[in-house]
Structure 1
Amino acid sequence: METTTERRRRATVKDVALEAGVSRGTVSRVLNGQPYVSDEAREAIEAAIAKVGFVPNRAARSLVVQSSQAIGLIVHEPHSLFVEDPNIASILLGANAALSEEDYQLSFLIADTSRDVERLARYLSGGLIDGVIIVSARVGDPITRAVRDLGLPAAFVGHPRDIGDAPYVAIDNRGAAREITRRLADTGRTRIGMIAAALDRDSGADRLAGFVDALGADFDPQRVESVPLYSVADGREGMRRLLERMPDIDGVFASSDAVAAGALEALREAGRRVPEDVGIVGFDDSSWALRCDPPLSTIHQPAGELGRAAAKAVLAQLRGERIEAPIMLDCPVVWRESA
């Protein structure tokens, strides 16, 4: 009878070599993709691997070929947003799809606290991943510095201003915010405010800049309420403060759909009807946009394609290719009943 120890013993290169009738060196050359192995020997080794149930040790292989076949996706956001923000999941799935096509593994890494950042910097220096995709980086981000110091192939989702010539994938946040604010004004709204989230990163700052562009001489800084995160809670609180300061407001640009969802709650609490009394627009065209009542007018952000394009940019660098220009994706207005 087979013992527990025998059942659990992991098949080794030696087992494959004995089964295939070749040397361990020949097996290693096949596993590491090296030449000078006959087709007959290669076929015998592949059959032996299947028969004995051999699984290559990725960590050991990486020491030989200097490749882990893994790409890290680093998201510098609080843990709370991972449940609330569907864009993060879409970026992750898009990146994973592109990496799977090239037989790479995605490693999902979260940077919430300063301790997380220190831990990730140590992890990145260990050779366990070949490159990184970075989401939600801020100017002066320590993760950006660590990646640059290590010389890791990297691509950013978004465009922090201090990444030099590093490849990035983005949308025109400023232009899109300008367009949807003008569209809101075209409905006859004359006292339009904004709940401006995440001004410490390029997306939030650019959306505020687009709002200012759209209003021109009519821009009033008193109608802008700044909040820290693209979250429902921040949207709710931001809308409450905006109504206290500007009770006659008749239009709102919320800098994300989640922020807009929170703003809608605050408007209902205040007895304001949407869109009859206040028109509201969001940004992202996420699941929040259709979950709201009425459904949100918004900007379509192709989050899945952003993740896919960023992953392809990292893989291109690993092949020795240079990314000469930023990758910009379309982000059209999607007009619905909220305005």
Structure 2
Amino acid sequence: MADQPTLAQVAAEAGVSPATASRVLTGSVRVSTSTRRQVHDAMSRLGYVRHRAPRGTSARRSDQLVAAVICEHTPRIFSEPFYARFLSAADEVFNAYGVPFVVMTATPATSTIAAPPLVTGSFDGILLAGARERHPLAITLAASGVPVRSAGRPPDGVDLPYADMDNRDGARQAAEHLLLTDRRNITVIAGPPTLPGARDRLDGFLRTLHAAGMTDVPVAYGDFSHASGAHAMQWLLQRSPHLDAVFAASDPMAAGALQALRRAGRRVPDDVAVIGFDDAPLARHTSPTLTTVRQPVEELAVLTARMLLMAIASEDDVPRGNPILPTELVIREST
């Protein structure tokens, strides 16, 4: 059997020092994007896999341990309904298999701290969620050799198995509903453009309107929070005072839009129709109740957790393909 390539060989192949290659592997922010790509390309060409200590060599434990890594600031985990639902459902799966489940946050700024325990053998597998473009930890995990499954499509250029929901089709359903109810001055409150799922929602919505001949569709951006939805709605009212519909890429942003419309004296749905995305519990408690796209958050969590457990148990016999779960428009009073 041929010897496995070493980190020094990877560094030589990439034309960098071993210290630089090591910093890339640990997610250091001190490495440029171009250098990081050189090192990962060299890893791929040589077939380098990060060495992990054999099971049972650690005195700390001999059983399995997994981590859920949320690529957001900690307050978002507690304020964003998606993460509360996702983590609760994933935890049930891991508990059923007797696998301890650790939750970590990792922003680009904290990747240097988060990466070492994740890639050096402390965890048997990693569940990744919320990774945006150029997130150094996502890039590091993709080259680490540790079993990783992404909840949601990973950023472009990051090769990780994943499960996702059909964000584009959910947005298409929202756009078609507004067209069928004769809304003609339609606007959008999109999510963060660096997040793949948010881009997919915007793309699916705009493509449907463009196919119907609507090419001038004002777009504001938020961060999925209630406050950002209210601010975006205020901007859209100034940009397009005669708007008669808004699609918000999350229910909290849609709730913020409802508040801004109420303050502006616009009646919903008489003057303006509002559609959200999530079918979070708050969608049934807004006034009026919110038409929204139901995303199968719990099903996504269960699926990705099971995919990760399968990868840990048998990395040589894991089903291929990235499953996509369907979304569904739920019509309520806001349209």
TM class, shorter-length:
0.7 to 0.9
Q: Does 1:180 align with 2:178?
A: no
Aligned residue among 123, 129, 144 for 2:117: 123
- Report the Cα distance in structure 2 between the residues aligned to 1:317 and 1:141, rounded to whole angstroms: 23
The one-letter amino acid of 1:273's match is R
The one of 66, 72, 85 aligned to 1:71 = 66
Structure 1 pair 106/89, CA: closer, same or farther in 2 (3 Å)?
A: same
Deviations 1:308-338 (A, max 9, x none): 1111111111121323011221211111110
Amino acid at match of 2:103: F
Tell me the residue number matched to 1:110.
105
Q: What residue is the counterpart of 1:336 in the other structure?
A: 332
1:134 to 128, 131, 156: 128
Aligned equivalent of 2:190, options 196, 200, 205: 196
Aligned partners of 1:252, 1:269: CA distance in 2, in Å? 16
Could you say if the C-alpha distance between residues 66 and 326 of structure 1 is closer, same or farther in structure 2, counting changes exceeding 3 Å? farther
Gapped regions of structure 1 (runs ≥ 5):
1-59
Q: CA deviation at 1:214?
A: 1.4
C-alpha distance in 1 between matches for 2:60 and 2:310: 18
Q: Which moved more, 1:296-305 or 1:73-82?
A: 73-82
Q: Is the 8 A contact 1:79 1:112 kept in 2?
A: no
CA gap 1:199/1:219 in 2 versus in 1, 3 angstroms: farther
- Give the superposition deviation at 1:101: 1.5
Deviations 1:73-113 (A, max 9, x none): 01112333223211101111111111111110110001235
| Aligned equivalents of 1:212, 1:110: Cα separation in 2 | 32
Post-superposition offset of 1:222 = 5.1
Q: Which residue of 2 is the match for residue 300 of structure 1?
A: 294
- 1:143 is matched with 137
Q: Find the partner of 1:274 among 264, 268, 272.
A: 268
Instruction: Give the structure-2-normalised TM-score.
Output: 0.78
1:100 aligns with 2:95: yes
For residues 151 and 211 of structure 1, the distance between their equivalents in structure 2, rounded to whole angstroms, comes to 37
Relative to structure 1, the CA distance from residue 71 to residue 276 in structure 2 (aligned partners, 3 Å threshold; closer, same or farther) is same
User: Is 1:224 aligned to 2:219, yes or no?
Assistant: yes
Are the structure 2 counterparts of residues 150 and 68 from structure 1 closer, same or farther at C-alpha, using a change threshold of 3 Å? farther
Contact 2:168–2:200 at 8 Å: present in 1 too? yes
Of 243, 256, 274 in structure 1, the residue corresponding to residue 250 of structure 2 is 256
Q: Greater share of helix residues, 1 or 2?
A: 1
Q: 1:315 aligns with which of 298, 309, 329?
A: 309
Question: Offset at 1:202?
Answer: 0.9
SS of residue matched to 2:197 = helix
The aligned residue for residue 32 of structure 1 is none
CA RMSD of aligned residues (A): 1.9
Q: The residue matched to 1:169 in structure 2 has which SS?
A: strand
Residues 1:167 and 1:244: Cα distance change in structure 2 (over 3 Å): same
SS of aligned partner of 2:320? coil
Deviation at 1:152, TM superposition (A): 0.8
Whether the aligned pair in 2 keeps the contact of 1:67 and 1:130 (CA below 8 Å) is no
Name the CA shift for 1:243/1:317 in 2 (closer, same or farther; >3 Å). Answer: same
Gaps of 5+ in 2: 1-54
Distance 2:175 2:257 in 1: 16
Preserved contact between residue 194 and residue 252 of structure 1 (Cα < 8 Å): yes
**In 1: Cα distance, 2:238 partner to 2:201 partner:** 23
Say if 1:85 and 1:221 are closer, same or farther in 2 by CA, change over 3 A: farther
The aligned counterpart of 2:14 is none
Whole-angstrom distance in 1 between the partners of 2:311 and 2:327:
26
Letter of the 2:214 counterpart = F
The Cα of 1:220 is off from its aligned counterpart by 3.8
Q: Does 1:285 align with 2:282?
A: no
Q: Larger C-alpha radius of gyration, 1 or 2?
A: 1
Helix, strand or coil at the partner of 1:282: strand
Paired position in structure 2 for 1:35: none
Deviation at 1:258, TM superposition (A): 0.7
- Following the alignment from structure 2 to structure 1, what is the Cα–Cα distance between the partners of residues 162 and 334? 33
Q: 1:41 matched to which residue of 2?
A: none
Q: Mean alpha-carbon deviation: is it higher for 137-146 or for 236-245?
A: 137-146
The CA deviation string for residues 33-74 of structure 1, in whole angstroms up to 9 with x for no partner, is xxxxxxxxxxxxxxxxxxxxxxxxxxx956279855111101
2:108–2:136: 8 Å Cα contact kept in structure 1?
no
Identity of aligned residues (%): 32
The match for 2:148 among 150, 154, 163 is: 154
Determine the C-alpha separation between the residues in 2 that align with 1:193 and 1:107: 40
Q: Is the contact made by 1:240 and 1:266 (CA closer than 8 Å) also made in structure 2?
A: yes
Output the CA distance in 1 between the equivalents of 2:330 and 2:217: 28
Say which of 84, 95, 102 aligns to 2:79.
84
